[in-house]
Structure 1
Amino acid sequence: MEKLPFGKLRNELLREVIFPNLGIEDGKVIYGPKEGFDSAVLEYDDEHYLIVATDPTLGVPAETFGFFTYHFASSDVAVFGARPRWLVIDFVLPPGTSREFLERTMEDLNGECRRFGSAIIGGHTGVYPSVRELVATTTAMGLVKREGLKLPLAKPGDRIIVTGKVALEFVVSASYFRARELKGFLTPGKLSRLRSLYRLETVLPDALIARPFVRGMHDATEGGLTALHEIADNSGLGFVVYSDRLRLNPLVEKVLDFYGLEPWSVSSTGTLIAITPPENSNQLIAELHKNGITAFELGEFTREKERLLVENGKVKPFPEFEGDPYVTLYGK
């Protein structure tokens, strides 16, 4: 009997097992489940589409639980061009969960909802003996004008603009879950600084700023920048990435070096990949910088189908998603 691997299912399993079993066809579904598409697009009225995304929250530190319960799914709505408006949230909690934890989580959730104009409209909350860790699932929804819909698709010559949070998710999680092995490498102050950066693990503000300038967007979550392959596959294109253009947070780079990891396939939730027509590239970067968000042009999509990484003057294939270091590190 074949056992499923840890982490997000690979695309071949989605194609073989999930996508053939999706119920009836419905004319209101403009875009349903698809590799590289993290939201569904439904017909809403003559002017709008309804964007719907769902995501679990688990394996995160308790103090970050409310933040990620909001932002994981809401980020997926934002990259399709919509502001998350409605949320449905299920909390499935282990025995021993305290009232104080639930109060703090709801206060954090309420704060993020008020910051971005969202309403929690339903869900389920319970404590169950079969549950071993904190789990939430969030379904986020928002409306977008039809002409404002952003799909993760590119055209030849489109620039790859990336916000400066590559590998941040992996490194911040290491500061919580692997602190003991990092204590001899990082000062307590630097560990504390890394832990505070979890609030950058969202593309929601980035995507809302980027909307007028981009063709499409993607959040580089599990597998990090290897999400470029999905964009290229769906667009029938290739791409070229220049390693010397990558800008890493110095603390992030330091921890990656400690673990001997390259940044390309490391979990990078909160890193916006913006697919941008060349004439909009500089303006987008300037607008993000004006709002305190680091961004840079990493490469471009090409008519040729090769996916290339130019590194130290050499050209080689861009890494594929073969396994996320996040899963192997925290699955131990």
Structure 2
Amino acid sequence: MRRNTILPLGKISPELLESIILPKLGKLNPNVVIPPRTGFDAGVFRINNNLFEVVATDPVLGIPEDYFGFFIFHFAASDVAVFGGLPQYLIYSLLLPPNTQKEKLNRIITQVDAECRKYGVYIITGHTGSYTDVPTILAVSTVLGFTTKDRLITPAGAKPGDKILITKEIGLEFLVMTVYSKLYKKVSHIINKEAAEDIKKQITSLTVVPEAILLSENGYVSAMHDITEGGLSTALPEVANASNLGFIIYEKELPLRPETKLIAEEFSTTPLAFSSTGSLLAAVPKNV
């Protein structure tokens, strides 16, 4: 008798992606330039010979409510930007638990609107509602952006001799979400109240949209990847494998806050595995 296997929490493994999901993508379409694949957080299809559309979708959950609208935009927009796409349109579904106050809804929607206006993005459709089966605020957002054929960037574009660029600190997302959660009590001897307040202020830096757009528009980059679930220890091999290259890093030179190192030591793990949304991994030509 076959045993049912319970899925682990988080994004599914590459093995399950490749065995269950990738073989079942519907009818093949010749206009799809980049279909779903391991290590690629966006898809690309052809509008015409020179114009491509980049599309990414992401769940939004477990986020401090005061910043929920910010991440409805930035999670998916970051994935579009690392492919060289300039975000243009947003679609999102916002699901609310019973008894949600109108003021809370207004705050979330106002945040989404503000980020869209900041980056010139229009919300073309969506769905919002309150349901008894929804235990907490949830959203799924999809961002669409455009790029040209010569400006399309993928994780497979790294070249021999490229330098490895990382923006912000590794594990910053982990630290931010820790100080906002119940887990903070377990690490309060490492992160004092003053440091915790400083870390909380970094929450709106958990996006790679600004730097990804800057790098791609100026032609400074061969490949990019947002360092999300699995941290640098997942993102860097994904870029290397997609590009058919190896890599060398010097761990002592990696941008890490002292608190990140201490927490990793206390829990006998590596900070390189900490989720680091908002930290951009980029392969940069050595002459830049």
> What TM-score, normalized by structure 1, do the two folds share?
0.81
1:54/1:63 Cα in 2 relative to 1: closer, same or farther (>3 Å)?
same
Instruction: Return the alpha-carbon distance in structure 1 between the equivalents of residues 230 and 30 of structure 2.
Output: 32
- Specify the alignment match of 1:44 in structure 2: 47
- Specify the alignment match of 1:126 in structure 2: 129
- Specify the alignment match of 1:301 in structure 2: none
Structure 2 unaligned blocks of 5 or more: none
Instruction: Return the alpha-carbon distance in structure 1 between the equivalents of residues 240 and 78 of structure 2.
Output: 21
Matched, 1:264 2:267: no
Instruction: Return the alpha-carbon distance in structure 2 between the equivalents of residues 270 and 187 of structure 1.
Output: 23
Amino acid at match of 1:219: D
Following superposition of structure 1 onto structure 2, how do residues 1-332 of structure 1 map, counting pairs within 5 Å? 1-153=4-156, 154-177=158-181, 178-211=183-216, 212-225=219-232, 226-280=234-288
Instruction: Return the alpha-carbon distance in structure 2 between the equivalents of residues 155 and 129 of structure 1.
Output: 51
Instruction: Return the alpha-carbon distance in structure 2 between the equivalents of residues 204 and 260 of structure 1.
Output: 32
Instruction: Return the alpha-carbon distance in structure 2 between the equivalents of residues 64 and 260 of structure 1.
Output: 31
Instruction: Return the alpha-carbon distance in structure 2 between the equivalents of residues 232 and 88 of structure 1.
Output: 32
Instruction: Return the alpha-carbon distance in structure 1 between the equivalents of residues 273 and 261 of structure 2.
Output: 14
1:143/1:123 Cα in 2 relative to 1: closer, same or farther (>3 Å)?
same
3-state secondary structure, aligned to 1:33: coil
3-state secondary structure, aligned to 2:252: helix
Shift of 1:258: 4.8
Instruction: Return the alpha-carbon distance in structure 1 between the equivalents of residues 204 and 260 of structure 2.
Output: 15
Percent identity for Structure 1 against Structure 2: 40
3-state secondary structure, aligned to 2:128: strand
1:252/1:112 Cα in 2 relative to 1: closer, same or farther (>3 Å)?
farther
Instruction: Return the alpha-carbon distance in structure 2 between the equivalents of residues 67 and 141 of structure 1.
Output: 17
Instruction: Return the alpha-carbon distance in structure 2 between the equivalents of residues 210 and 277 of structure 1.
Output: 11
What do the CA deviations read for 1:188-225 (whole angstroms, capped 9, x no partner)? Answer: 22211111211111000110111120011100000111
In angstroms, what is the RMSD of aligned CA positions?
Answer: 1.4
Instruction: Return the alpha-carbon distance in structure 1 between the equivalents of residues 190 and 270 of structure 2.
Output: 18
> Could you tell me whether the CA contact under 8 Å between 1:164 and 1:249 is conserved in 2?
no
Structure 1 unaligned blocks of 5 or more: 281-332
Instruction: Return the alpha-carbon distance in structure 1 between the equivalents of residues 75 and 51 of structure 2.
Output: 23
What do the CA deviations read for 1:223-271 (whole angstroms, capped 9, x no partner)? Answer: 1112111112222221111112112234444544454442211100011
> Could you tell me whether the CA contact under 8 Å between 2:190 and 2:259 is conserved in 1?
no
Shift of 1:184: 4.0
3-state secondary structure, aligned to 1:241: coil
